[in-house]
Structure 1
Amino acid sequence: MKIWSPIIPSEGKIPRKYVMRAAGGENLSPPLKWEGVPAEAKSLVLVCVDTHPIARNWMHWIVTNLPPSITELPEGASGKAMPSGATELTNSYGFKGYGGPQPPPGTGPHPYHFILYALDVERVELPERPSLAEVERYLSGHVIAKASFIGYYER
């Protein structure tokens, strides 16, 4: 399984329009594509997490119950054009949906991991505002495949 963004090079810089407004962006969720979802997958979970030591696994986006037939999310899908059945949970900022990068100035490049999990269950119930550890604990034993890529942003 593979996940990528047509506008964020792997290990490259996240364009400014995908960062939070307070950091000079438009807070649009970036376009994402994936392929190679196992045939036996019954649902997908997508997360975006900043693993920089200062951010301590800050959750920027958590989407559960994505249909396995979906192979992409268009730019700005969060809150507007999510697939039927998909659920956006509350991010570390405290609101539902995508919350783009807003790293503290002067802390260097922050890595934003976009992770896609293929699951053997149709629905997964996570806490409303899960940590990365909670996501991984709740998905434990149900992950068939996992893919990720990293984009960076700094101020």
Structure 2
Amino acid sequence: MKLTSPAFAHEGKIPPKYTCDGENINPPLVISDVPAEAKSLVLIMDDPDVPKRLRADGMWDHWVVFNIAPSLTEIQEGKEPPGVHGIGTSKNLNYYGPCPPDREHRYFFKLYALDTQLNLPEKATKQQVERAMEGRILAKAELMGRYERIRN
């Protein structure tokens, strides 16, 4: 399974348009090679580079969407994928773009193909989604982008 974006390369720079310094809309994503037996997809975007003084676990959850149809091949720029939206660290249900407070951070877009749909409500946390996915993952794809805010 693959997850790519026409907006930035894996390990490349995320354009400011997709961050708090720009329009704060999600970048376009392309999904391919989903296993035929998949029953749902899960998309998680997180940042593991948060200063420990802000969050003890060093993690910020930007986007959590589950029970996405496995037939989905594209998430258009600025459009939420159809699915159930979990809650992010900023109490957001939709995409919340990069906004690092200190230096360049890495942002991981993680896509999972599952052999089931998740029996979780809207506003489930990333941790709840990850627990529910245990033992159900058929494939995983990852796209990592970097972003550092311009300081004047």
SS at 2:87's partner residue?
Answer: coil
RMSD: 1.6
Structure 2: which 5+ residue stretches go unaligned? none
Q: 1:110 aligns with which of 102, 105, 108?
A: 105
Cα contact 2:38–2:115 (8 A) shared by 1: yes
Q: Which residue of 1 aligns with 2:16?
A: 16
**1:88: how far off?**
1.8
**Distance in structure 2 (CA, Å) of the matches to 1:70 and 1:44:** 9
**1:34: how far off?**
1.3
Q: Which residue of 1 aligns with 2:114?
A: 119
Q: How does 1:8-47 map to 2 (within 5 A)?
A: 8-20=8-20, 24-47=21-44
Q: 1:90 aligns with which of 73, 80, 87?
A: 87
2:135 corresponds to which letter in structure 1? G
How many aligned positions are there? Answer: 144
**Distance in structure 2 (CA, Å) of the matches to 1:62 and 1:101:** 14
SS at 2:13's partner residue?
Answer: coil
2:69 corresponds to which letter in structure 1? P
Cα contact 2:118–2:132 (8 A) shared by 1: no
Residue by residue over 1:59-111, the C-alpha shift from the partner in whole angstroms, topping out at 9 and shown as x without a partner, is 10001110000111000012xxx33xx1222211112110001110xx32100
Cα contact 1:92–1:129 (8 A) shared by 2: no
Q: TM-score, normalised by structure 2?
A: 0.88
1:13 corresponds to which letter in structure 2? K
Structure 1: which 5+ residue stretches go unaligned? none
**Distance in structure 2 (CA, Å) of the matches to 1:116 and 1:126:** 19
Q: 1:102 to 1:129 in 2, by over 3 A?
A: farther
